[in-house]
Chains A and B, each alone.
Chain A
Amino acid sequence: MVVQRLLPTEEAQELLGLVRDIAARELMPQAAAAEEAERFPREVFRTLGEAGLLSLPYPEEFGGGSQPAEVYLQVLEELGAAWSSVAVGVSVHALSCFPLVHFGSDTQRKTWLPDMLSGDTLGAYCLSEAHAGSDPAAMRTRAVRHGDGYLIRGAKAWTTHAGQADFYTVMARTSDDPRRGVSCFLVPADAAGLTAAPPEHKMGLTGSTTATMHFDDVHVAADRMIGEEGQGLAIAFAALDSGRLGIAAVATGLAQAALDLAASYANEREAFGKRLIEHEGLAFLLADMAVETETARAVYLSAARLKDAGLPYGREASIAKLVATDNAMSVTTNAVQVLGGAGYTRDFPAERYMREAKVMQIFEGTNQIQRLLISRQLTR
C-alpha cells in the first residue's frame, strides 16, 4: 500500500517517488535471498549513493541533500518497508557522519565531509564494547597521546558495517574521568592495526554485517579528533538522539510491510467459507496492527518536526524509538499469526520481519534504556 504522506515540498514528493521506485526495483526483489545467504549488499548502497540517498540530511555545500528530518526519515521508512538491513545501514551511515557535521571544525568538514557524503563511501559508528553496551561510559578502549597524534588500543563490539565501511567514527577513552574522559575520532578504514573480527551470527538482519573491530595501536593524527578532548560521550549521545529517530522510521517501515503482507493475505485466504478478513476476531487484530503502525509514524514525525524547528528533541526521540520498535515487534509478531502456518515458514517474509523487528528493540539504546532516559527527564 502506498502510504499517504504530508510532505513539505514538491521536491520531497518527487524524492519519495524516486525512493519507492528504487525500493521496488532494486531492494525488494533481492532482499529475501540476500538475507537468507547472509550477504551484505554493498552494490545496493552504491545505487542509493548515486541517487543521492546516503546524504539527505546533511548540508548541500558538502554534497548533502539539505533535507529536513521530516523528509529524510520518511525516505528511511520507505527503505525500511523494502529491506530493513539496507535501511538500518543508511541510518548508521548518517549516524557516523553526524559527529563531523555537528562538532567538526570548518577545516575538518571541508577535508572529509565531501567524501563521506559523496555516496561512494560508507561509515560505521563504534561506541559499544563487549562489556559496555547499555553503559558506554564504562568503555575501556584507549586513545593515548603519541607523537603528533594518538594510538588507539581496544575492541569495539557490535559494529554495523564492520570490515565493510570506509571510515569509522570511534569513541575512545583519553582519560579516566568517567564523564569527560572519552573523545571522538574519525578513523579511515585503511589505518594500520584496524581489523574486523568474523561477523556475528545473528537471529535476523543478516544482510547487515555486525562484528567487533579490533584496534591494535591504530595511529590517528591529532586533527582527526572531532570536537574537544573529553567531549566524546556528549557527541556520541547527541548522534544517538538523531540516530534513534532513524531507527524509529525504519521500524515503522518494517511494521508497514508486515501489515501490508498480513492484510493482503487476509483478503485472499479463506477459512470457514469466508475470507479471513471477514472474521471479526482477525479483522480487529489487523485493525490494531494498522493503529500501531500509524501511531509509530505520528510519533517519529512529531519528534522530527521539533528537530527541524531547532528545538530540543532528545526525549521525544527516545519515545519515538521506544514506541516504533515495540509496535514493530507487535505488528510483525501478529503478521505471523495472521498468516498461520504459512507465517511460520520461510516461504513468506513474515517470520523474517519478526526477527528483524527484535533487534530494533535492542540497538541504539535498548528500550529499557529509552525508559531510563525518559524517566530521568521526569525526575526533579
Chain B
Amino acid sequence: MNIVVLVKYVPDAQFDRHLTGDPATVDRSESILSELDEYAIESALQLAEERGGPKAGNRVIALTMGPAAAATAVKKALQIGATEGLHVNDDALAGSDATGTSLVLAAAIRSLGDVDLVLTGMASTDGETSLVPAQLAERLRLPQLTFAASLELDGTTVRARRDGDTHADSLEAELPALVSVTDQINEPRYPNFKGIIAAKKKSVATVTLADLGIQAAEVGTAGAWTAVRTAEARPPRSQGTIITDEGDAGIRLVDFLAAQNLL
C-alpha cells in the first residue's frame, strides 16, 4: 500500500517565536518538522507495519512544500521510518496561502501515481488554519476524514472517530482517502539511531513548479486569495495588580474580581 504523509516545516515552538523583517513575518531560522505531523507519521508507520512493513511493499512517502531547509522535515520523517521523500521547492512559492499550498501538494500527490491514503496533521503549528487537508481532499476528489482521534483500516475501508464536545462521530470511507489526525490518536515514536543511519540511504526527490505543471502566478504572494496586511507582536502582558493586606485585602480582592465580572 502507498501512503503519503504531509509534513510541514515550521518554526520551533520551543524557541521564543518572534517577528522579523519588513513586512514583518515569523522568524523561521529555528524550524523543525511540525510536531502535529509526527502523529500522522506514526499513524502511517503503524498501518504500514500492520501490513508487513516496507518488505511487503508498503511505502510511506513524506511530502513537504517549503524552502530548501524544509528538507530537514522530510529527513526527520525518514529517520522516524518513512521509506522515501518528496520535496517541492521553488522560489515562486514564497507567500503561498492555504489555497496555493493545497494546489501544489495536490499536484505533487498526483505525480506519485497510485496513492491509497493521504495522512496529514490536524493543523500546522504555525499557520494553524486546518484548511490544507480539506482543500487537498477536494482537489484530489478524495473522501476526507478530518480530525481523526482513532483510525483503522479494514481491507479497503478506513474508519475514524472524531471527538466532539458532546458526542463522537464515526466516519467511514473507501480507499483512496484523506485523513487528518489529532494529537490524541497515538504516541509518536522518536527516531532511533539505526533509523538515523538508514535515512541516509533513502531517496528524496526534489521537484519544482515546472515539474508539476503549475504556473508561478497561481501560487506565492501573487496567487494568494488572502493577504496578510500587517503583523505585529503581541503586546507584553501588563503587570498584575498587587494588593497589600492592610486589613481589607479580602474586600479589595472581591471588588477586583467583581470589576472583572469574574464574580
Contacts and interface: CB of A to CB of B under 8 A. Distances in A.
B190 A51 contact: yes
Contacts of B194: 52, 65
Interface of A: 11, 14-15, 18, 21-22, 24, 47, 50-53, 56, 65
Query: Main SS of the interface on chain A?
Result: helix
A50 to B, nearest CB: 6
Chain B interface size band reads: 10 to 19
Contacts of B14: 24
B163 to A, nearest CB: 24
A11 B196 contact: yes
Nearest to A67: B193
A18 B197 contact: no
Nearest to A17: B196
A270 to B, nearest CB: 16
Nearest 8 pairs between A and B by C-beta?
A: A52-B193, A52-B192, A51-B192, A14-B196, A51-B190, A65-B193, A52-B194, A11-B197
A14 B197 CA distance: 9
Contacts of A52: 192-194
A15 B191 CA distance: 10
A54 to B, nearest CB: 10
Nearest to B196: A14
A15 B190 contact: no
B193 A21 contact: no
Contacts of A50: 189-190, 192
B191 A18 contact: yes
B190 A47 contact: yes
A260 to B, nearest CB: 15
A21 B79 CA distance: 14
A21 B14 CA distance: 10
A56 B196 CA distance: 13
Contacts of B79: 14, 18
B18 interface: no
Contacts of B190: 18, 21-22, 47, 50-51
Contacts of B193: 15, 18, 51-53, 56, 65
B200 A51 contact: no
28 contacts: A11-B196, A11-B197, A11-B200, A14-B79, A14-B196, A15-B193, A15-B196, A18-B79, A18-B190, A18-B191, A18-B193, A18-B196, A21-B190, A22-B190, A24-B14, A47-B190, A50-B189, A51-B190, A51-B191, A51-B192, A51-B193, A52-B192, A52-B193, A52-B194, A53-B193, A56-B193, A65-B193, A65-B194
